[in-house]
Amino acid sequence: MAQKQLLKDFIPNLSVNCVVFGFESGKLNVVLIERKMHYWGKIYHDLELPGELVRRDEDLNSSACRVLKELTGLDNIYLKQFEAFGSPQRLKRRKRDLTWLKFVGHPEQTVVTIAYYSLINIDQGKISKYKLHPNVRWMQVSEVQELAYDHNDILTNALAVLRAELLLKPIAYELLPKKFTLGQLQNLYEVILGKSLDKRNFRKKIAKLPYIIPTAEIQANVAHKPAQFYTFNNKAYARMHKEALESAVV
Amino acid sequence: MAQKQLLKDFIPNLSVNCVVFGFESGKLNVVLIERKMHYWGKIYHDLELPGELVRRDEDLNSSACRVLKELTGLDNIYLKQFEAFGSPQRLKRRKRDLTWLKFVGHPEQTVVTIAYYSLINIDQGKISKYKLHPNVRWMQVSEVQELAYDHNDILTNALAVLRAELLLKPIAYELLPKKFTLGQLQNLYEVILGKSLDKRNFRKKIAKLPYIIPTAEIQANVAHKPAQFYTFNNKAYARMHKEALESAVV
DNA sequence: TCAAAAGTGTTAACTGTACACCCATGA
DNA sequence: TCATGGGTGTACAGTTAACACTTTTGA
């Protein structure tokens, strides 16, 4: 965590962490940071969620944006605060974490972290930009092992929030390229929710949504019947959402 | 905020605030703290949400519990973290707030607050205990005026979360006495959701829930047909909830 | 010609919604 | 006897869920 700037510019007890999800070739991935350290004479490689201490002059959201920007070079990314983690022991549950804190000269105080989850789409070859920092890793959520500190808890809760929001808000489209097929969309729902869905019922449901717009474009160079591309129309969504709110009854 | 204990025991940049809701005689109420101050020669009365700085050795949840305990003398209250508020300007938007901060000797740093909402029931004459602290006020949510700092934002968001959770989780029963009538329950939904519901449909829905148990008891001394009392059975709820999760499809 | 994913309708069960009257009680 | 809130059923509309085959393409 931020050792480059002057320590006094930061609130020593407050950090943000970002759980950055992305969907690529049918898998849900997450951005992790490699932490290399010497520990009892050996070199350990270890992973943690991206995060930093919060600056005194910035908003929490700006802080999370800053972390993402420094990490991936991207802004205008879907970003949502979901939980604060504040156990006094959260940084010190393992010997390895204590060693690391000493190694980087961390004051070893309680650090409460405000956790965000973030959705990116791996569109238009942007993926290369995520390699900006040499220790950024892009890993399948299902293959994540033991992370630093309480970061497994943070990831688990982020996933739970992602699942819940997927059913309530149009966030699937943050994870997909601008033009997507219904197969991709269904696959995304299946992967995140962890269950398979009926293709015909799924497509009927989508067909009723006024904000999923079919395009004239069609897949090319696929070894099966080529699929039609669709787009998400945010204005149509906002309109529908507004109407739904106004007429809502339990 | 906490001036009595040693300042070094607290994290100066981190507080918790509690939005304590209660339901009484058909109205949704919230606990507020009166803030009296001299301001340009006059005495102002002002309201804020209960809150305190977080101790270095305590968990965020414990911190919120502590605030509630000190305030109302009650523990084992429904308590849920819902959002962190961290704008650097959040304590200093008004002259009055700045004056107050100087008055109480606050270091005037950025304070990020972790906001909780809490539900209490005004059962069995417990209400008297809420008067423990002389400046505790119990006020209808619909009549709340301008609060200190960004506390109106916090209250607004707490209400939004309360509404959303009311539709998803059995929290209504935290706000009602152990034995309640269906009329009270419907009234609570109507007040929190801000719309009227169809009595017959509402009762049909409740009748299907395996965790709302009719008792043999019946209202007395009411100037209308006396209502039957019901209870919420948490075990039955947990059982049903577990089954629902296991068989869930989108 | 094969493999792989796209695309397509019907039926039955369930859920949500609209709607109006009588009942029991205390004042 | 009146005012107050308690209590009840039916019909229609909309939504969900189960289910199997044909199409188009590249390899």
In single-letter form, the type of residue at position B231 comes to T
Q: Which two tokens stand for residue B127?
A: 């209400």
DSSP tag of A227: P
pLDDT band at B41 (very low <50, low <70, confident <90, very high): confident
Instruction: For residue range B79-104, list pLDDT tens digits in order.
Output: 999 999 999 999 988 888 998 888 88
> Residue B238 phi/psi, 5° resolution?
-60, -40
Nearest nucleotide, CA B182 to C1': D6
Which residue's CA is nearest to the C1' of nucleotide C24?
B225
Percent of chain B with pLDDT over 90: 68
pLDDT band at A2 (very low <50, low <70, confident <90, very high): very low
Q: Which of residues 210-229 of A touch strand C (CB under 7 A)?
A: 223-228
Average pLDDT of span B225-245 = 93
A44 vs B139, more confident: B139
**Chain A residues near residue B247 by CB distance under 8 angstroms:** none
What pTM was estimated for this model as a whole? 0.93
Smallest Cα distance from A75 to chain B, Å: 20
Average pLDDT of span A9-33 = 94
Closest CA to A4 of A133, A151, A150, A138: A133
A57 Cβ under 8 Å from any chain B Cβ: yes
Residues A230, A234, A240, A244, Cα dihedral to 10°: 120
**Chain A residues near residue B197 by CB distance under 8 angstroms:** 249-250
- Cβ(A37)–Cβ(A46) under 8 Å? yes
The CA distance from A83 to B141, in Å, is: 25
Q: Which residues of chain B form beta strands (DSSP E)?
A: 10-24, 27-39, 42-48, 51-55, 78-85, 112-121, 136-140, 212-218, 228-232
The CA distance from A155 to A171, in Å, is: 18
Mutate to test the interface with B, among A53, A62, A82, A112 (most CBs of B within 10 A): A112
A250 touches strand C (CB under 7 A): yes
- Cβ(B3)–Cβ(B104) under 8 Å? yes
User: Is A16 strand, coil or helix?
Assistant: strand
Question: How many alpha carbons lie under 13 Å from residue B20 in its C-beta half-sphere?
Answer: 28
- Cβ(A28)–Cβ(A78) under 8 Å? no
Average pLDDT of span A224-241 = 96
Find the Å distance, CA of residue B223 to C1' of nucleotide C27: 7
Residues 6 or more apart whose CB falls under 8 angstroms from that of A28 comprise A21, A22, A140, A141, A142, A191, A192
Find the Å distance, CA of residue B69 to C1' of nucleotide C23: 45
The CA distance from B233 to B211, in Å, is: 5
